[in-house]
Amino acid sequence: MSTQLDEAVELLDRALAYTRVALAGVTEHALTRPTPCAGWSLDELLDHMADSLDAFTEAATGRVPLTSAAPPLGDRLAGLQQRACALLGAWTAAPPGRVVVGDAPAPGSLVIATAALEITVHGWDVAQATGHALPVPEALAERLLAVARAVVTEDDRGSRFGPARPARGPSYEQRLLGFLGRS
C-alpha cells in the first residue's frame, strides 16, 4: 500500500472509532429527532450512513456505480457496525490505488479519506441528535478539515452541504463543522 493510502486507512479507522461512540447513544426514542442535516431525522441519517458505508466498501473493489438499493431494515446499529468492519477490512486487505466513481477516476486515498470525513461528521450529527456532547478530537478534525477543503466545492452547497458558517471558536473541530455548514 502507498503511504497516502496507509494514512487514509488510518484516518478511516479513527473516524469509525469516533462514530462508534456516537452510535452508542442511539435509542428507538431518538429516531424521530432532527439532526444538524437540514430536514433529516436521525432515522433518515442512519439509513444514509448505511448506504454510504456500503458505497465506500464497494469502492475498495475499484469501482462505484452511482445506483444504490434501499438499505435493508432490521437491527440498524448492528448493521452499521458490520458495515463499518467490512469497510475497514476491505480497505486494509487489498485496496485499489484508483477508484472509478460513476465514470470519474479518483485516487483511492482520496476516496477513503472522504469516507473518513463523512463517517466522522455524521457521527457528530448522531451525537447532536441524541443529545450527547461528543467533540471531534482535534487531531482528527485537523486532518479532516484538509480533506473537506479538497472535496467540498461551492457546487455542493445547498444540495449536499449547507453554506459555510463562521466557526464558533478557533478549534479545528469548529472550523471543520463551520466549513461543512454546521453550527
Q: Quote the CA–CA distance of 50 and 45 in Å, as a whole number.
A: 9
- Give the model's pLDDT for residue 169: 83
Q: What digits encode the pLDDT tens for the residues 15-64?
A: 999 999 999 989 888 999 999 988 899 999 999 999 899 889 989 888 87
Q: Residue 176's closest CA among 95, 107, 121, 126?
A: 121
Grid-cell match 470525513, residue found: 117
- C-alpha cell of residue 105: 477516476
C-alpha cell at 82: 458490520
pLDDT at 66: 66
pLDDT by 10s per residue, the chain, length 183: 578 888 999 999 999 999 999 999 898 889 999 999 888 999 999 999 998 998 899 898 888 776 655 444 347 788 888 889 999 998 988 788 899 988 889 999 999 999 999 999 999 999 999 999 899 999 999 999 999 999 998 888 877 788 888 888 899 999 999 999 887
Amino acid sitting at position 95: P
In whole angstroms, what is the distance from residue 98 CA to residue 31 CA? 37
Nearest to 13 by CA among 108, 120, 97, 110: 120
Torsion over CA of 4, 7, 8 and 11, rounded to 10 degrees?
A: -160
pTM, to two decimals:
0.86
pLDDT at site 1: 57
Domain 3-179, CATH: 1.20.120.450
Is-contact 30 125, C-beta < 8 A? Answer: no
